[in-house]
Structure 1
């Protein structure tokens, strides 16, 4: 379960947008694991012009490091739908993310289901992000 949570935290720290505004983004994540709420997290990330041009490639690169791949990616206008699959060590999980993105914000909700050491696990997540200012 800990690795499933780590996977979801990774996803929450990554900004999703077709034409993101380069700069400092503030992300907030809240989770529920097997029906129990977990502490919310916040982080800030400076997104460069290059990263803002192709978020799918950036996300794929980071997910691959943790044994995860994007199995579906659809960003049409402001609507994002993505599916993920992870398999590494003692974890196997599949999940989805869906929501809206704009140049300066995103609001995504997702579900992930899988197992850690054979124990079934289910998580719900809410991810929001907002561009705050240019990076220094």
Structure 2
């Protein structure tokens, strides 16, 4: 139960940070990507402020054997840059550039009830479900072969 509360508090803090920095506004992201037009560097400023904070957090975590709440750290298992990673990054970038949303800001924006956000989140969840279904089918086929 404590880990669930920590996860909730972390998510709320992340959402608050996105809201305060206006990163839940898709036009901020789209203007950041529009370097030849109405370029807005605020997204770069938000990232420049967030990266050192995250780096300190990761450095502190590396010093600990276990997390404060939980039994073990759960980092990524895959370390190779492969076709799946690159295609996923391209798909993420295209979606981000077209909609101006990525998952975190989209979920944070749901609290404001913007109708376009609901459509994005439903499409995002459908894409995640389709990916899981495809991967399950592939794993079953590989197990049979």
TM-score range, shorter chain: under 0.3
Greater per-residue strand proportion: 1
Greater per-residue helix proportion: 2
Q: Output the TM-score relative to the length of structure 2.
A: 0.26
Larger Rg: 2
